[in-house]
Amino acid sequence: MATADLAAHLLDLPEALDGLTLSGGEPFDQAAALAALLQRVRAARPAWTVMAFSGYTHAQLLEAGAAQRALLAQTDLLIDGPFRRDQPSWEPLAGSANQRLIALTARGRIVKRQVLSESPPLANLGVGENGAAWLIGVLSPTQREAYHQMLPKDSTSQSKATNATPTPNEN
């Protein structure tokens, strides 16, 4: 999809949205295209916050090249570093303890303060196809187990059918 087409699609979303999050795959491996996209989106929605998750560290991104620096310039809050399953984090947004929340702009500093001062739920319960329960969030294995124990017994069989994370009593 062309950058202009994707920007048009994003700008057709409800204006009540307050920002965009770049994640999945590695956003900074597509830095030039994403920087161009964000430049278009920010021109039309300057109040939107841009948050990016990267497996690279901030220092690596600064050294990587002009495209990565251009994307950093369009980013308010960066969550950097590779996800490490063996290093659980209790910080909001960070999936593992080695990841940092780095405010790159004044808006990013405000968002970071809000995120760190609030006590948002660790996870949300979603309902997928056929009523299957989905646990959505960044949790340690112990936290995930506690949430699964709160689910109704009949959701256990549905989570098996949808390949969701198994509840502890399924092991």
Give the three-class secondary structure for 100.
Answer: strand
What is the rounded CA–CA span in Å between residue 149 and residue 36? Answer: 45
| Predicted confidence (pLDDT) per residue in 13-57, tens digit | 876 788 999 998 899 999 999 999 999 999 999 999 999 999 999
pLDDT at 145 exceeding the cut of 50: yes
Task: State in Å, rounded, how far the first CA of the chain is from the last one.
Answer: 42
pLDDT confidence of 132, banded at 50, 70, 90?
A: confident
Q: Enter the tokens of residue 82.
A: 């590779």
User: What is the average pLDDT score of the chain?
Assistant: 83
Residue 39 CA to residue 71 CA, distance in Å, equals 9
**pLDDT of residue 165 exceeding 50:** no
- Rounded to two decimals, the pTM is 0.69
Question: Could you give the residue ranges of the DSSP H alpha helices within 12-65?
Answer: 31-44, 58-64
Cβ-proximal residues to 170 (8 Å cutoff; 6+ apart), any chain: 156, 159, 160
